[in-house]
Structure 1
Amino acid sequence: MESILSIMGKIDSFVWGPPLLILLVGTGIYLTVRLGLIQVIKLPLALKYLFSRDKDSAADGDVSSFAALCTALAATIGTGNIVGVATAIKAGGPGALFWMWMAAFFGMATKYAEALLAVKYRVVDDNGQMSGGPMYYIEKGLGNKTLAKMFAIFGIGVAFFGIGTFPQVNAIASAVNITFNVPIMVSAVVLTVLVALVTLGGIKSISKVCEFIVPFMATLYIIGSLTILVYNYSLVPGTLALIVKSAFTPTAAMGGFLGTTVMKSIQSGVARGVFSNESGLGSAPIAAAAAKTDSCVKQGLISMTGTFFDTIIICTMTGVTLVLTGAWTSDSAGAEMTTMAFSQGLPLPQIGQLIVTVGLIFFAFTTILGWNYYGERCTEYLLGVKGIKPYRMIYIVLVASGAFLKLDLIWVIADIVNGLMAIPNLIGILGLSGVIIYETKKYFEELGTENSRKKISA
């Protein structure tokens, strides 16, 4: 009789087979072409909107555009950036990082489209809160309630059994145990209490915590990674060359690395890239829908930067460090492998270990908060506001149990439910691509007219 892990692994391989990979990347490529390389041409404008003073404070919505992005980033910048990158490179070799970049590049266009649709089709629930996301634009835009309900069910599944709970809790408990010798049970109790205190306050409580923690944790991790790259600057060109070469040629076995094929490299890179930045999953637009904004296009641009920060910057820092230090060829895996890389890359090993541990704690904790909100909105869509409290109770119980599950099974379960969640969302995006193109052209035409008037009056 086959083991559960073996059976789940076969299901995972089927879900994340060529059809879904083609659908994910293909949707991003299609939108990139139709939107005229929006993720490149409009990235400076998107960053300007992100860091400029919020002028939409009086607009409809629950939180500021920046707070909405921080909530989305809180959910996306998590163990995928530390453990997920290590898992991808361990399975697919250095070339997996290149395919993470490709998934993120085209995923930026997908993330833009998701957020645009989320704001355009959002509604106000019975508690007076904004609700939006794929379940609403699939139902109201496409007119398909069955597909919308499928997304919401899968969304709750990801929150309960995928990205939201088990991988994050397990990663925090393991990292704290390795670095500070804190018993798993203690970490589980403390984490559960903290999650309960924040999540029971809803989106405003969650966004306030995320608005403070996300910029701080990302800056700390980036500084630590940059220090390693500067300290080992002579190895950087060769490392980048190996990453690109390995993306197109099989990687031979070396050290604790068993070797891999190009297809495995692509599959690992794209799957872990999506796990990390969530482009195409339909999760981030749920947070975007809560933003105070009068423009769905503007919020789409702001949300698009989330994929840029998550994968193009933070995942790259982790991946290059893993390859540069040679940690990817060791017998270590997951957080332990990343900790080894940072310890070897810095002159003081203890500092490297501390950066990874602290980064992992913050990254994973905020991901738990963000995904609590995503699952809550999916529950509200299916059951109404009466389902929110029971959902939160179940979520907190699952957080408490996550520290005691095996890592291999956790990642397989997470991959499966992630893939299932992406399918109805991508169908919705492609079906509403005409709306996306129309709203985008209309916005930039009006913006161009407004800028021309300002020049004339000046």
Structure 2
Amino acid sequence: MEKFTQLIERATGIIWGWPMMLLLIGGGIILTFRLRFFQFRYFPHIMKQTFGKIFAKHDGPGTVTPFQATTSALASTMGAANIVGVPVAIALGGPGAIFWMWLVAFIGVATKYSEVVLGLHYRHRNEDGEYVGGPMYYIQKGLGWKKLASFFAFALMIEIVASTMVQSNSIATTMKGAFNIDPIWTGVIVAILVGLVTYGGIKTIGKVSEKLIPFMVIIYLISALVVIVVNIKELPVAFALIFKHALTPISAAGGFTGAGVAAAIRWGLARGLYSNEAGMGTAPIAHSAAMNDHPAKQGFWGVFEVIVDTLVVCTITALVILTSGVWEKIAPNEASTMVTAALSPVFGASAAGVIISATLFLFVITTVVVIVFYGEKQAEFLFGSTFAKIMRFLYIGAIIVGAIGGLQFIWQFLDLLLAIVVIPNVIAVLLLSKQVQAITNDYFTNFYKQAYRKKGA
């Protein structure tokens, strides 16, 4: 069993190294060229259609508002990766890793946009009257590859069992360390909360996420910004470190072991790709339920998602770490404690621990709620709505099992299963990119230009 586990770890390490980066980044570059750099050319318009219309009423078929769909998708990306993953990237790749994180975010925008556009274009109403969509639908309807669509759905359905366990265990461990709460009770509480929210379907998930996601992001950002303001004199130095060491090595100092350019690129790209999940195929499942009269409009909310997750929250986390200087004092194997260490001198060790623990708890709760919904939709696609409800109970049970650290051998398959999900999705998006291009051209020809002509007239 140990040799088998080592084999899985080795295979996963190889796949999620440069091969996966080249697939995701290469795919993002191809889509960026095919869409004629729309994320740069129309950036003000995209911001106006998203940030500027968060509270606006929306027309078009759908189950939830565009913002609710977006916060639901954000719920699965906003989490420990934003608070723990960024410090790890800096610890192993140096400050220059943040530059590469930004770069891949701008490239990943095209992939996320394309996924969401295809999700809406190929969605349909299920037997419960809700709009459903995602890679399994655009692989089947757009490419006619029913077997691959079923393979994708089955792989994601199983992957979410492992993912749910890992998420549950992470929050149980955090609550045990911060408040000495027995993991079994954390698991039971999380399971009950997740069960109550998911029972109401995407409508309830959307209502909860549109309130909880902004609240916890604002709380975290306020805490982080206070630290940055206290260390404001170090802010120019932090940006200088990011840009300078994106292309030059940085020497060891204190607990920091030093990093070369290759390490900066590798960890920056990995963090950027993993944090916003562009190309992973999960976001379009949530976005497909949105009320919108044109797929491109909802695609803009996919752009919004990447901006909030990577360019705002991950960047703020990086600046907290760099301006406070903790990245030079804490060893890489303890990088996950950097944000708490940065907050401690300002808020006190106890308060800092509570802030981070509470934030992580809320992040994990929302993440688990949404990924359970994703799993249900795969089960529904494969076997119908009755089986989807059965899978919901299986996922809720996995929360409790994961909290106490049970069935850990399943966790070893998490990244491998995720790779099996990502590869067919990215290939499908690339093969359907002409469809995305046509939909995008239709929007900017018949909506964007006409609206501006009327405004000018």
> Counterpart in 2 of 1:103?
104
- Aligned 8 A contact 1:121 1:141 in 2: yes
> Counterpart in 2 of 1:143?
144
> Counterpart in 2 of 1:364?
364
- State how far apart, in whole Å, the 1-side matches of 2:289 and 2:423 are: 23
Query: Are 1:263 and 2:265 counterparts?
Result: no
Q: Which moved more, 1:359-368 or 1:306-315?
A: 359-368
- State how far apart, in whole Å, the 1-side matches of 2:410 and 2:236 are: 35
Query: Are 1:233 and 2:235 counterparts?
Result: no
- State how far apart, in whole Å, the 1-side matches of 2:197 and 2:291 are: 21
> Counterpart in 2 of 1:56?
58
- AA matched with 2:425: N
- AA matched with 1:82: I
- Aligned 8 A contact 1:35 1:437 in 2: yes
Q: Which moved more, 1:329-338 or 1:435-444?
A: 329-338
- State how far apart, in whole Å, the 1-side matches of 2:3 and 2:320 are: 35
- Aligned 8 A contact 1:203 1:373 in 2: yes
Measured at CA, do residues 123 and 41 of structure 1 come closer, stay the same or move farther in structure 2, by a change above 3 Å?
A: same
- State how far apart, in whole Å, the 1-side matches of 2:318 and 2:409 are: 23
Q: Which moved more, 1:168-177 or 1:120-129?
A: 168-177
C-alpha displacement at 1:197, in angstroms?
1.4
- State how far apart, in whole Å, the 2-side matches of 1:252 and 1:3 are: 37
> Counterpart in 2 of 1:13?
13
> Counterpart in 2 of 1:378?
378
> Counterpart in 1 of 2:114?
113
- Aligned 8 A contact 1:86 1:337 in 2: yes
CA RMSD of superposed structures (Å): 2.4
Measured at CA, do residues 358 and 264 of structure 1 come closer, stay the same or move farther in structure 2, by a change above 3 Å?
A: same
Measured at CA, do residues 323 and 403 of structure 1 come closer, stay the same or move farther in structure 2, by a change above 3 Å?
A: farther
- State how far apart, in whole Å, the 1-side matches of 2:73 and 2:19 are: 27
- State how far apart, in whole Å, the 1-side matches of 2:411 and 2:250 are: 23
Extract unaligned runs of 5+ from structure 2. Answer: none
Please list every run of at least 4 consecutive aligned residues from structure 1 whose deviation after the TM superposition is greater than 6 angstroms.
Answer: 408-412
Measured at CA, do residues 259 and 300 of structure 1 come closer, stay the same or move farther in structure 2, by a change above 3 Å?
A: same
- State how far apart, in whole Å, the 1-side matches of 2:420 and 2:321 are: 30
> Counterpart in 1 of 2:274?
275
Measured at CA, do residues 392 and 178 of structure 1 come closer, stay the same or move farther in structure 2, by a change above 3 Å?
A: same
C-alpha displacement at 1:201, in angstroms?
1.9
Measured at CA, do residues 221 and 30 of structure 1 come closer, stay the same or move farther in structure 2, by a change above 3 Å?
A: same
C-alpha displacement at 1:258, in angstroms?
4.3
Query: Are 1:292 and 2:299 counterparts?
Result: no
- Aligned 8 A contact 1:173 1:403 in 2: yes
| Equivalences for residues 20-31 of structure 1 within 5 A | 20-31=20-31
> Counterpart in 2 of 1:160?
161
- State how far apart, in whole Å, the 2-side matches of 1:412 and 1:275 are: 18
> Counterpart in 2 of 1:215?
214
Query: Are 1:426 and 2:426 counterparts?
Result: yes
> Counterpart in 1 of 2:310?
311
- Give the TM-score normalised by structure 1: 0.91
> Counterpart in 2 of 1:43?
43
C-alpha displacement at 1:101, in angstroms?
1.7
- Aligned 8 A contact 2:227 2:342 in 1: no
C-alpha displacement at 1:347, in angstroms?
5.2
> Counterpart in 1 of 2:388?
388
- State how far apart, in whole Å, the 2-side matches of 1:34 and 1:83 are: 34
- Aligned 8 A contact 1:93 1:260 in 2: yes
Residue by residue over 1:424-443, the C-alpha shift from the partner in whole angstroms, topping out at 9 and shown as x without a partner, is 11111110111111111111
> Counterpart in 1 of 2:83?
82
C-alpha displacement at 1:415, in angstroms?
3.3
> Counterpart in 2 of 1:417?
417
- Aligned 8 A contact 2:61 2:291 in 1: yes
Measured at CA, do residues 12 and 440 of structure 1 come closer, stay the same or move farther in structure 2, by a change above 3 Å?
A: same
- Aligned 8 A contact 2:227 2:324 in 1: no
- State how far apart, in whole Å, the 2-side matches of 1:300 and 1:277 are: 14
- Aligned 8 A contact 2:232 2:323 in 1: no
Identical columns (%): 39
- Aligned 8 A contact 1:136 1:148 in 2: yes
- State how far apart, in whole Å, the 2-side matches of 1:97 and 1:250 are: 14
C-alpha displacement at 1:401, in angstroms?
2.0
- AA matched with 2:58: D
Residue by residue over 1:109-156, the C-alpha shift from the partner in whole angstroms, topping out at 9 and shown as x without a partner, is 111111111000001122222110111111111122232223212322
Q: Which moved more, 1:260-269 or 1:68-77?
A: 260-269
C-alpha displacement at 1:289, in angstroms?
0.4
Residue by residue over 1:261-295, the C-alpha shift from the partner in whole angstroms, topping out at 9 and shown as x without a partner, is 44343333333322221111111111110001111
Query: Are 1:182 and 2:158 counterparts?
Result: no
SS of residue in 1 equivalent to 2:141: helix
- AA matched with 2:133: G
- AA matched with 1:290: A
> Counterpart in 1 of 2:445?
445
Query: Are 1:435 and 2:426 counterparts?
Result: no
- State how far apart, in whole Å, the 2-side matches of 1:338 and 1:412 are: 27
- Aligned 8 A contact 1:16 1:419 in 2: yes
SS of residue in 2 equivalent to 1:282: coil
SS of residue in 2 equivalent to 1:63: coil
- State how far apart, in whole Å, the 2-side matches of 1:349 and 1:132 are: 45
Q: What is the total number of aligned residue pairs between the two structures?
A: 451
